[in-house]
Chain A
Amino acid sequence: MISDRYSAADDSLVRELFRRFRLDPALVLALTVLMGLGLIVLYSSSAQSMPMLNRQIIRLAIGLVIMVFFAQIPPHTLKFWSPWLYTGGVCCLLLVFYFGHIGKGAQRWLDLGFARFQPSELMKLIVPMTVAWYFTGKSLPLKFRHVIGASLLILIPFGLIAEQPDLGTALLVGAGGFMCLFLGGMSWKLMIGGVAAVGAMMPVMWKMLHGYQQRRVLTFLDPESDPLGAGYHIIQSKIAIGSGGVYGKGWLNGTQSHLDFLPERSTDFIFSVLAEEFGFFGELLILTLYTFILLRGMGIVLRARDTYSRIVGGSIILTFFVYVVVNIGMVTGLMPVVGVPLPLISYGGTSMVALMMGFGILMSINADRRLSPG
């Protein structure tokens, strides 16, 4: 990876800038390369729509600005604000619950007049932050009652988001919280017990699922059962990926995507476009970059200064990777279609904000460690 960054010999202006803005050059490089690749794929998937491309570039730029901004906030400041943010977030979710804007059959948005925003997205960050804050001062590994307490902190927003209904985001929020529990040393027995408990609750949860969610799960189990209906997305996506072959059909030559067979091809299913046009090697490149980011992030959190940073940072980087795995698992037919975008590549701004905030926090944790190595 990156060699000794304290060496004065290669202390160029760029390095100085990175250091001043508390950024990790390796991570920034990997992120921007991914963003660039994403734009290339988006150009193709959007049928070469420059307006879409421009919008995405602006979003990415804003995302980078947000990242830089959050990199300036020291972890202990975040820790201080965590409970307040959590309270505010849950209030927002309640507001959405009662007054939210309905789009695509789900109530997720809060209209602020000048902009609409999705509180559930921010909860992806706020929940781990709060759980990590909750862990502070408590000895690790976690005691049972602490696990229960943390679980409550997770389940409240989880329930509110699942009710919107946005099961995908709810699960990711839950996953973010669970990562904290896991990293906090929650005992294996408890985890297994929890999984068993969730398994036991499955029939009840199944009843609580909305019709389209039930259908999604069912078609996930047997996509061919409804090739023209709900299973259509998965089948067409698999055709796109499979027909891409080793080298792909070439940029802008994907027939599945360009002839509209592939649904949601700029957003949730953008990986299929990439797979169709760039083939197996294109996918390997993307997966390598994601894995690099994962390992780099892990390197950062392993050397983080305090528990809060470790837990939040670890949760952020793991959740990020969960997105990647869930999205690719979804488009390849390994997982149900839950509507998780491919980080940094999928078209869309909402998930980008939380994502780049997360990387900003990660950078901050990195910088914090650097300033006072401990």
Chain B
Amino acid sequence: MAGVSLNDRHLELQVYKNRVVIAAVFCLLAVLILIIRLLILQIVNHDVFSTLSQSNRLRLMAIAPNRGLIYDRNGVVLAENRPSYRLELVPEEVKDINGTLERLRHLIKIEDSDIERFRKERKRGRPFEGVPLRFNLSEEEVAQFAVNRHRFPGVDIVAGLSRYYPFGAMTAPVLGYVSRIDEDDLDTLDEGNYQATTHIGKVGVEQYYEKLLHGTVGYKQVEVNVEGRVINEIKENERQPVPGEDLHLSIDIRLQTVAAAALGENSGAVVAIEPSTGAVLVLLSKPSYDPALFVNGISNEAFAALQADPARPLFNRALHGQYPPGSTIKPLFGLAALERGVINENFAIGCSGSYQLPHDKRRYRDWKKYGHGPAVDLEQAVIESCDVFFYDLAYRTGIDAMSDYVRQFGFGQPTGIDILGEKIGLFPNSEWKQKRFGEKWYTGESLSVGIGQGYTVATPLQLAYMTAIMASNGQAYRPHVLEATSLPPSQIELLQAPERTAAAEPTAVAGAEAGQAAARPETAIDAPPGSQLHKIPPALQRSVPVVAQRHWDYIRKAMMGVAHDPKGTARGSFQTAPYHAAGKTGTAQVISVKQNEEYDEEKIAKQYRDHALFIAYAPAEKPEIAMAILVENGGHGSSAAAPIARKIMDQYLIARIH
């Protein structure tokens, strides 16, 4: 092109044409490059981008399983899921959250604690998911909001299921409650399975059988947009959640109701066990609390009020209350002395109202000022609750022998009930004292132990457990509240083991228990329409060796005397009973109440009356129910506790049949 003449139009055109052709070649080359690029993207790498596109738009959304229901032994619902409405706010859709909250509060009651919780949960929430603001809206509130809904974009009422306990406070000591999953729970739970779950069992059966009750999470695949908002649900890829197991408890709610009514306004606890299986029929602690408060998040004030309440409604006396067993333990000491050959049935002592150890000036008083007579044998001593006799018996048996024997009846150990947190009580021996106080055991201390005072403490559950073992001639079945599920028991063993055990110490009993459980064939009981239920086989923890059956019969007779002998301490309650009961009254001195809670000592000082205790089983000949009753500050076991036992027994043994 160098030597082109200046005004040669033809050459000029030639240059231009050249350039156009070159440009065309460049353009076509560019098109070719684009086509190759598109080929690479769309055909060579199609699968890669296809997958990316899918994962872009498809998201698994968890569906919470319905929590299993809880029934009593007769099929009465104790815990169910009720439709409920909650108010939710989607933060991404609300411009002015504070303003909206303020306006909402004019419409619907929203506590400061609700807002506090809302703010906490908002931080945890995923984008475009509603954060609950209020639970359990009333029909009225739902209507109120519906009318004003247009004023609150991003706020909506969501229907869901909420745990409901028809018997409220009465079943709280057994069932516990479910509550919002909190930070601590997040550390331990299986996040995958709990993705859509909002509540978790915190106490009681709800906690212990959480894994059974919860069920398995379901999924649905949803199409989301770039902001994570659900655009569409894809039906084919849905996996329905598996609802939690329904639990059938051994609790008899009618019996529990009778017990609660009999206890009246008193504080106290009732535990009733079926001696032949360990099935817990009644587990009551009064006063109690309304579990509904906890289901949807209790406000700080309400919780503080519950905690500050001097009647201590949150305190589960049946499992956590440790009381001196008082005279209720006397029949067991009698049995111990007989079985260990310390005394025989003919042994008798004179009781003049006080007791003295050899070489000791100190007098140990009997509750009866002038004594029980010149020749008190074991039977009379049990019937009349003669303290002097049991002082002497304790002296003769010795603390370590007593301790050895009564431990077989569960003292100082967990009973193994399927509710977490039971206290294990205490039964002292010389070794324990040496360890605890660095002192040797004084014989005088044995005497206090001999009448159920001193260091000895036990929970009402432990007393009922002891009573059940005595009633069944030494067969110790693990107390349990779960009676049956639709799962074979072998699967439950795997599921139930709770990770967060509070008090469960491994005991030598565990092996025996497992062995027994395996040995017994599982039995299917009559199920409500639908699925077949598998009954949990009773777990025999141990058999107290029976040296002589007549010793056991002797004690049984003595305890029957408590209820039916003209001099029996509980005769007032049982003389009209159409069956034979065996029991023992007791009185626990309040000083020994040593739970670790801070409350006003002066206030308690006014309520310094003794706790009334009563243990009993019936029918004495073939026991079907064994129980322990505690009436706090109730005074005497005979007057305050025994009548309650009578009412429960009547209900269980008579009303049940008719």
- Which one, A259, A318, A332, contacts B38 given CB within 8 A? A332
Whether, in the assembled complex, B311 has its beta carbon less than 8 Å from a beta carbon of chain A, the answer is no
Distance of A215 Cα from B67 Cα, bound (Å): 52
Distance of A325 Cα from B56 Cα, bound (Å): 28
A28 to B: closest C-beta gap in Å: 21
A332-B37 contact, Cβ under 8 Å, with A261-B225, A291-B31? yes
Q: Is the CB of A279 within 8 A of B23?
A: no
Q: Is the CB of A294 within 8 A of B24?
A: yes
Whether, in the assembled complex, B19 has its beta carbon less than 8 Å from a beta carbon of chain A, the answer is yes
B92 to A: closest C-beta gap in Å: 14
Whether, in the assembled complex, A120 has its beta carbon less than 8 Å from a beta carbon of chain B, the answer is no
* Contact partners of A334 in chain B: CB under 8 A: 33-34, 37
The digit string for A324-345, where 1 denotes a CB below 8 A from any CB of B, is 0100110011100000000000
Q: Which among B45-53, B347-355, B389-397, B550-558 touches the partner chain?
A: B45-53
Q: Is the CB of B17 within 8 A of A332?
A: no
* Contact partners of B4 in chain A: CB under 8 A: 141
Q: Is the CB of A240 within 8 A of B43?
A: no
Distance of A182 Cα from B37 Cα, bound (Å): 27
Whether, in the assembled complex, A63 has its beta carbon less than 8 Å from a beta carbon of chain B, the answer is no
Q: Is the CB of B16 within 8 A of A243?
A: no
- Which one, B15, B27, B226, contacts A185 given CB within 8 A? B15
Distance of A301 Cα from B637 Cα, bound (Å): 118
* Chain B contact surface mostly: helix
* Contact partners of A332 in chain B: CB under 8 A: 34, 37-38, 41
Q: Is the CB of A185 within 8 A of B56?
A: no
Distance of A236 Cα from B43 Cα, bound (Å): 17
Whether, in the assembled complex, B30 has its beta carbon less than 8 Å from a beta carbon of chain A, the answer is yes
Distance of A318 Cα from B26 Cα, bound (Å): 10
* Contact partners of B37 in chain A: CB under 8 A: 329, 332-334
Whether, in the assembled complex, B519 has its beta carbon less than 8 Å from a beta carbon of chain A, the answer is no
B73 to A: closest C-beta gap in Å: 54
Whether, in the assembled complex, B404 has its beta carbon less than 8 Å from a beta carbon of chain A, the answer is no
Interface residues on B, range: 35 or more
- Which one, B12, B20, B46, B226, contacts A314 given CB within 8 A? B20
Chain A residue with the shortest CB-CB distance to B46: A245
* Contact partners of B15 in chain A: CB under 8 A: 140-141, 185
Q: Is the CB of A141 within 8 A of B1?
A: yes
- Which one, B23, B34, B39, B225, contacts A259 given CB within 8 A? B225
Distance of A295 Cα from B21 Cα, bound (Å): 10
Distance of A279 Cα from B227 Cα, bound (Å): 26
Q: Is the CB of B38 within 8 A of A283?
A: yes
* Contact partners of B38 in chain A: CB under 8 A: 241, 275, 280, 283, 332
Distance of A279 Cα from B33 Cα, bound (Å): 17
A140-B12 contact, Cβ under 8 Å, with A244-B42, A325-B31? yes
The digit string for A209-245, where 1 denotes a CB below 8 A from any CB of B, is 0000000000000000000000000001011111111
Whether, in the assembled complex, B604 has its beta carbon less than 8 Å from a beta carbon of chain A, the answer is no
Q: Is the CB of B231 within 8 A of A242?
A: no
A261-B27 contact, Cβ under 8 Å, with A241-B42, A242-B48, A256-B53? no
Distance of A187 Cα from B33 Cα, bound (Å): 26
A260-B227 contact, Cβ under 8 Å, with A182-B23, A287-B34? yes
A/B interface sample: 6 pairs, CB < 8 A: A140-B16, A241-B42, A242-B52, A291-B28, A298-B23, A314-B20
**4 nearest A-B pairs in the assembled complex, by CB-CB distance:** A242-B49, A243-B53, A259-B225, A260-B226
